[in-house]
Structure 1
């Protein structure tokens, strides 16, 4: 066979490293180029989007006509090196202002989120940002589309500048790395030479660990070598011990056999010869048993060191050992165990456990003539095996010594044995984390008890049904719960883990989420403090909340966003974040988990079906023409007291050109104002109010399902939809529990609760239930306008803007407080 040529590891490493470094440099340059293009696109896209949003903010409606006074700032942000085009399209698709040919090339949009596209326009490749602005007029509701386009010269220039500035350092670093690799290889091989000399100088019987100092990289090789030599030394010691023990223990029975055989050869008396042969047979049996036990002892030692474990049904092993007994011995054995003990499994080595039980049962049969009783039971997370016999028992001073190798008790006199059986039992029990104990059997005899630990068994079976029971109880409890702190003890009786939540959701509604969460985390106690949205916001900032919250939940998502924007929220990358719509979360700090439309409710006994207003304009006209009929009979939020009320009013004012007309109609009709939806619902259901405006649909749908005398209108022009949001305060004590609750609320289980009898609505698309976002949207014909969680919500919270808005509102509606 031809000899393989030797090769240089040093050269191979250098060549491979050089190739890899060059490939990495090329890959890095490609990545930098891609990153440069993406970075340039991202920067300029933000400018385009900002320009489009600035123009969208200038869109107004006068006398049913869309007008735009183009702000100076809309184009002031561009560099001037590129060409800029724009177009504004009305709801009817006609160009209001700008470049008509640009509008003709672009589709209309019905989203407040900017969309980007690359098109060929006037002979150049341009980047276009398109954004929608929802408006509502007396005659219609629709989307105004704003397009802003820019050529891409500056983008390419920025991208090339980033790339060119990055290539030179990459090339320089690649060359430097090649030189460092060559130097490092030379230094790396020096310790290997020293290690070679140290091993070559050792005698054959020296298996001590290598102590030559080596680099960390070579240290793994030396550690593996030391480990191998350590295992080899243990094996050699075990083999040497086995040989020495076997030579010592077998020498006596073999010498006895030889002497008996020599005497038998000279024996002339037939009966005497038979006696000699019997003694020879007994000696052979003893020698054979000793050799078998020595070999089994070595086998068990090897298997326990290997730690090869599996799940084993120990009672099945006991039955297997008993089946191998001869008929007379089997009749003396009785088995008794509970059903749980028969079925339970322990983790361990099957062969070692079988040998342990065989030795225990053999000892009981050999050292007693009566029955041997074998039992099994589960006690304190352990499987307890007992073997009791009717023999002479064992003195207390012997119970420790008999566990040593080749040690036997007083009762073993005249009985064939090796003194290894109980030693094997002890080592097997200890290796499996168990305990061996000797006791005195009631009525005489020895009782051997082996306790082996069990794997942890889950106690959570059946807990998932609690969520359904709690939800059923929820639907049977009418009315509105008073704002108070409610404690939900841990289902498993634990008391040390408490999650504290402060929220604005009705307690009887929220308890369904608590029950569902505790079904998955039965060790957690939940404390829920119900408050109104604006007091929650203010008291949190003042530090005067009645409890220290781990989680804040509010329907006033603009206030939640402000808390997060001002640095009061912890970030959390929930695994369910990707399933949420983009509008239903802000970064990874504020999480929406419901889909709740703002609806109109009315009492069917107070308003005839043909008079029911199904648009915002129709409601204003109804109050204008039937002012006296509805005086004091209309209710909506007091936006100065209700955070969610202010949020909805600010969004109404942004979208609808008839908002102030409707506010004026409220004032003329002497509308009633409340701080919460439940209060309005109660008034309409009882008949003291005829109609409620901007009521949260979640509460309305749930109350209607309970049988309340109300009807619900999902407006036909536009429908505001908000999402109840969660945030984890920065100073929360139980951060992990708060994160677990966020995960639960966004998970299919939590969204299933939102889409069920709570009627809060599931915000995650594709959820199942009666109140999914798709099912709620299908109940009306209007444009669904979700209120997105984003910085735009902060505009309405500006102190001066908010105060002017409230002053104007109060002046027009003159609320009765």
Structure 2
């Protein structure tokens, strides 16, 4: 007794505690690893999806690798991380994006995304890379697409998962220790009494134990009473128990093995692959249909707005063949009669290309043999283009019907198609005053014959004269004045001049002055210098480093602001007022929106009667289509090539509205006048030079109307785009503390009241009192309010190739002259 230093209870308690702590430690390590892996898998999936979306848009045009970033490229990134991307041609040259992103990374040679950790611009990033196989004049190679994201959000998600899982583990561990402490004491108490009794008995005393014991110990006492008298029987039963246990364990093990074999035999990967293939086929068919519908709309717009050109037929045929899939291109045979390659057709190159491409695609789809393209001159001087195949052909009674939209012949059953190809072809042929015939090909198959009139080529001297006229017209249309900034100084109210705050912005000085004076009422010792310019001009000056960084950067072009913040030009701030901002009006604790400004329609009531004022985007397009002659030269909107906010609004319009290009075409017919700023448009409307202005920032219009200007304002009833002027404190600002104080004031109750009152820029913080609050502005229209959120998705529209394509298309439609 004297040698016993540790009780059984203590031993069990210590062992159980150590076991629980070890289990908790292992569990915590597992949770931490799982949280990191789960976060990495989740964000890698988004990163890889973004790279694949961009890779899917990579294509070859005239031997050059091009890409137009889809709108969804960065839409999955909703956090506060910075996003970088790059697209490289097979020879390693940068196509678009950040040229130095690929330093230290090998080119991709597979379409499956790969991931790597890197350091870019001094910050660790995760890079997803995907390849896109393209065929160039020098051979076939892999274009490389890279998308990189900083690690803040994935680390935050891993930390959140770990912390949320750690709290229950710690709580359960503490609870288990408490229960263990009290439970062991209560469980061992009857055993201690029994132990004392047995120790007091003589060795030869085998009489039954008659101590009162709790119910839980009855079986133990009975076993002790029967032990000595029934030792042999207990031995036999023990042997039987061992045999039975072996049998019982063998049976479930065998059953488990059998079930595993059955499960392995019943798993059907072929059926799974079949299902995946069926889903893929459906997706391909849907993609083909969407592509055809988009091309149908593009052809319609180009036929309506693009002037007839002189396009060589040989160049069109060669372009169509180059764009074919390499797996089917070797089935195409081209025959061009001597001298016909330079024969010119009177249509836009895109229209001719899509017309011929649809015919060739149909021939390749519905036949297995070679497809022949023949170009020859006809007796009447026209150009004949034949596309022949060895497919099932089209029955005579169906030949007129297949030219209707979504109509297909009986022989096309079982083959994917949209029923739009021949309808597009006929529209393009009729626009050129040509004709199309479907004929049976001798020996079997279908022969599609196009007969198109040939047009003469304009002489070089005519081209020079036309370019000179265009240049003169451009000079006449440009508004007076340049894009240079103007500077206004607001002296410190207390007369001191030592403390100065430098602000660079694109907000009308007269409206912004209210906010500056409100700030100086709290800081009378601060002299404020405000430099005003156009959105694109101040962005380019700031990004190029041609001027010192100001203390505050302000712009209504949210996409340009996001670009600057994403590229590391902004300082992170901890603003108390940011807690009241809507989520769409702030990003990364670096960029903050402070106004609520809808894009509205402004009109002159002396020119447009109340009953003809358009209340939606569709009504505006219809008005311009019907009244193009009357309103010629009296409609104005932003010059999207000069104005950053104008380009952003146009890009957002395109993504929201299905009527955008129709409206753009109507602008072109009405001879729209392009301007770099809303005040200039409002001046023209107020003077009577303009009848209507589109996408004018509502803040300027509301302020002008409140000052007594005779103008009407329409907040569209279908949808209204809302932008917020955003601001940040640049890296390298001389007085970053004053910049932060000014931002804090703009988001405060006092600052928002000024924006909702005399400044008329609109208060973005909910619950602000005043005439121009977000709630009151939204109530002026019946349509959906579509704020333009601050975030990485705005970077898509700034991609240089996508922007160039958009501007080219815009200018072709809106200002084709």
Fold shared per TM-score above 0.5: no
TM-score range, shorter chain: 0.3 to 0.5
TM-score by length of 2: 0.44
Higher RCO, Cα 8 Å, sep 6+? 2
The TM-score normalised by the length of structure 1 is 0.44
